[in-house]
Structure 1
Amino acid sequence: MPSLTTLPTPRPWAPERSLRWGIIAPGYIAGYFAGAINRRTDHTLAAVGSRSLERSQKFAAEHGIALAFGSYEELVSSDDVDAVYIASPHSAHLDQALLAIEAGKHVLVEKPLATTGADAARILEAARAKGVLAMEAMWTRYLPQSDIIRQLLADGALGEITSVAADFGFAFPFTPEHRLYDPAQAGGALLDAGIYPVSFISSVLGAPRSVHAVGSVAPSGVDKLALVSLDYDGAVGTALTSLNGWQPINATISGTEGRIEVHREFIQPSGLTVTTYDDFMQPPSVLEWDGRDYDPAYDALSCEADAFAEFVGKGLLESPIHSHAEVVSVVDTLDRARTQILTAHQEAQS
């Protein structure tokens, strides 16, 4: 295939209707989501719910939300809410998603959708049975750069894909009661940060044939460092994540005819360098695209909100670019990797 001379243009999301959003768990990520909705979309922030009415009222005042509830049950029962955004810690996703689904609300659930593949499947099956859309809020899938990548891969611009590598990690002081280190809140590097590189690899290569993981464990018993190797038929994926070290937050897709390098930080709006080769002995074609059009970067959460609304308007019950089966596969991959690391740690301690 001849080397590229131009890059495709990202296709914008085009929702046919605006949604009235209810927010469960008004924490920091919910604040970013609310800001993105207000600044970047035509959707309405209709309600917010928390176990603390005072906390809901404070959040509502900050973001111009009409209704504040002191329970999740009140929020999902409101006739003023079309869709619920769940921004709670991982361990609460299952119960809260099922609560909203049973009330007939579409649900956008922060990543990971659940802490195990079985629980993720339970949420998605319940939503399908109720006739509502359930979607994991993996915002990177809906960014402009991701659409360019999808188009390049669909066109075969890189030839046969042979490897995908991605990393995301940071250094967070060990604090046993913090959700990142608390087993009761599904803490650990893999579920919080590792889902980004694993999901990125999955978006290119799909479900792996096998999972191999090594890493280390925090004193509280959760994984704090993980290197995950994913085996495919003729290709490999490599994901690195941590709670105890700053990673570059890079992602690269390599193929027989070229590669895509996603500029750091790949998990948010960034850019691409696409290198393709006509001949091994000739200079490659190098094209760049810059997508840092959001300030703050979290305003790009509007992309997943608009995509969600587009899917709702079309009557879809799952994301066409992030299927239910793939969501379950990614969570299952994380679970398998975590189990390997914790088992190896326990065996070393015995």
Structure 2
Amino acid sequence: MTASPIRWGIIGTGHIARRFAGDLRHSATGRLVAVGSRDAGKAAAFAAQFGDEIASGETAAVLERGDVDAVYVGTVNRAHAPLALSALEAGKPVLVEKPLAPTWRDAEAVRAAASARGLLAMEAMWMVFTPGIIRLKAMLAEGAIGSARSLSANLSYARPYRPGEEIFDPETGGALLDLGVYPVALALHLFGAADETAAIVERNGAGSVRQASLISRHGQVLTKLSCGFETEGPNGATVSGEHGRIALAGPFFCPPSLTLTRHFAGSRLDYRDERAAATSGDAAGDQPPPSRPALNAPKAETLPTPFAGSGLQYQADHFAECLCAGLVESPLHPLSRSLAALRIMEQAQRSGG
């Protein structure tokens, strides 16, 4: 927790910037003080929706403000790296909307600039900090399903192709950068670096990725990840292990609940314990012990993971804690992980078609 609120400046006036501004109302550590844009008029209209006291102006002017402690970049992908570099040059710690940059090279430039200036920089992979993902990782660490063996995650939203929209740009947009970054980031967050990746990628006539499937191996864990603009997907995820599975209700990047299903296959200790209890009951004149299939029947438990707003404030609070502690990288979502995700997606685009 910070001693005083972090004063945020937002660069961008689109949908994601609006969500971030709205969710700051739920933040325990920060408040919005300024909005910047290439169009000062748009910045003023945006700021007015969130309070008369919020300043606005062109991007450069907002970055130079002394009352801005940290900058959130919430623009189209192609502007992420240039604006992050501008913020760092102005001496501002920066939280950059995902993906950190459209390419690994651009993202590395951001990492190098932050390191050289000793400033905190982080990709806004808000999923990592949502209550459901935090609980999932804790359950895996506690051995709730034994040793993890696989992850399946899908994120697909039907989005008709419209020429000229940034999201469909062949170089800086497409389904992989817009949606695929989430399942890839989830795999890296839960299981570390990928040892190998294979991919199938489909593009539209303009060359933009419209859907993709990836398989990657992280030690003993095999991941099956998919994304696309072609259909409305289930948008859930499941982690399976030796003794059960955990299903994330969609959308998995901020799941409203987790479902833990346990089984006893391969767990001799659990099986012996239940068999012993059943035999003991039989000796006392109760019903005979159940058959082995009944002992192995899955046991499911739904665990609600409620969140406030749309969930973007949790990353802002983590960023503020890192800033207060004098860190230049997040221990939960370091820039090295953002770079690793871009490596995987670039490899997928090259090898997958």
- Tell me if both proteins adopt one fold, taking TM over 0.5 as the criterion: yes
CA RMSD, aligned part only?
A: 1.6
Unmatched tracts of structure 1, length 5 or more: 1-13, 345-350
Match of 1:322 in 2: 333
- 1:227 aligned residue (195, 203, 213): 213
Shift of 1:15: 4.1
Indicate whether 1:287 and 2:301 are aligned.
yes
**Alignment deviations for residues 135-154 of structure 1 (CA, whole Å, 9 cap, x no partner):** 11111100111111121122
CA shift in 2, pair 1:141/1:96, >3 Å: same
Match of 1:9 in 2: none
Shift of 1:269: 4.1
CA shift in 2, pair 1:173/1:138, >3 Å: same
Match of 1:270 in 2: 256
Quick check: 1:16–1:309 contact (8 Å CA) kept in 2? no
Match of 1:85 in 2: 72
SS at match of 1:227: strand
**Alignment deviations for residues 285-344 of structure 1 (CA, whole Å, 9 cap, x no partner):** 4322112343x5x2x111111111111111111111112221110111111112223xx3
Match of 1:67 in 2: 55
- 1:155 aligned residue (142, 147, 151): 142
SS at match of 2:183: helix
For 2:11 and 2:132, how far apart are their aligned partners in 1?
29
- 1:302 aligned residue (304, 313, 317): 313
Indicate whether 1:207 and 2:193 are aligned.
yes
Match of 1:246 in 2: 232
**Alignment deviations for residues 204-227 of structure 1 (CA, whole Å, 9 cap, x no partner):** 222211111112111111110101
Shift of 1:93: 0.8
CA shift in 2, pair 1:162/1:269, >3 Å: closer
Quick check: 1:262–1:272 contact (8 Å CA) kept in 2? yes
The number of equivalent residue pairs is 324
Shift of 1:233: 2.9
For 1:98 and 1:52, how far apart are their aligned partners in 2?
19
Shift of 1:243: 1.1
Match of 2:276 in 1: none
CA shift in 2, pair 1:175/1:147, >3 Å: same
For 2:218 and 2:29, how far apart are their aligned partners in 1?
42
| AA in 2 matched with 1:179 | E
Shift of 1:158: 2.2
CA shift in 2, pair 1:62/1:241, >3 Å: same
Match of 1:195 in 2: 181
Match of 1:76 in 2: 63
SS at match of 1:180: helix
Shift of 1:97: 0.4
Shift of 1:279: 4.3
Match of 2:89 in 1: 102
Bigger Cα displacement from structure 2, 87-96 vs 146-155:
146-155
Shift of 1:116: 1.8
- 2:99 aligned residue (112, 118, 121): 112
TM-score, normalised by the number of residues in structure 2:
0.87
TM-score, normalised by the number of residues in structure 1:
0.88
| AA in 2 matched with 1:111 | K
Match of 2:247 in 1: 261
Larger gyration radius, structure 1 or structure 2: 2
| AA in 1 matched with 2:335 | H
SS at match of 2:38: coil
Shift of 1:109: 0.5
CA shift in 2, pair 1:279/1:210, >3 Å: closer
Match of 2:15 in 1: 28
| AA in 2 matched with 1:290 | P
Quick check: 1:207–1:330 contact (8 Å CA) kept in 2? no
Shift of 1:244: 1.2
Shift of 1:16: 4.4
For 1:275 and 1:82, how far apart are their aligned partners in 2?
45
Quick check: 1:276–1:284 contact (8 Å CA) kept in 2? yes
Unmatched tracts of structure 2, length 5 or more: 267-292
For 1:91 and 1:293, how far apart are their aligned partners in 2?
30
